[in-house]
Structure 1
């Protein structure tokens, strides 16, 4: 599993990944965390761009601040 970590959760994701590793889950599950800068996504990328990138690369998005309203809001993109 590849998780695309939104820029607002980078510190939390590092703690989470550390806990997952400490409990031995990385030996059982193929988990990888990928950050925006690694994949050259701008931190101000709109939700549509982030969603399309994640879908094209079979990633799960970990986020806490994507928008609910607007033409490129994650909620609208998911419904489309």
Structure 2
């Protein structure tokens, strides 16, 4: 599973990913957190642009 994360949640994702890892959840459910800049989305991208990207990648 891939989760797209904007800049407002960056710090929370670090904590959440650490918790998932420490509790071995990532062994059961592989989750990958991807920041907007990793997929060439601007921080101010519209919901439509984010949705189109998600549909295109079908993750």
TM range (shorter): 0.7 to 0.9
Unaligned segments of structure 2, at least 5 residues: none
C-alpha contact 1:3 1:33 (8 A) present in aligned 2: yes
Assess if the C-alpha contact under 8 Å between 1:5 and 1:34 holds in 2.
Answer: yes
- 4+ runs of 1 displaced by more than 2 Å? none
**Number of paired residues?**
59
Secondary structure, in 3 states, of the residue corresponding to 1:41? coil
**Structure 1 or 2: more helix by fraction:** 2
| Cα shift at 1:27 | 1.2
Residue 44 (structure 2) aligns with: 44
Give the TM-score taking structure 1 as reference length: 0.67
For the aligned residues, what is the CA RMSD? 1.1
State the TM-score, normalized to the length of structure 2. 0.88
- The alignment status of 1:58 with 2:58, answered yes or no, reads yes
3-state SS of the aligned residue for 1:42?
coil
Bigger relative contact order (CA 8 A; separation at least 6): 2
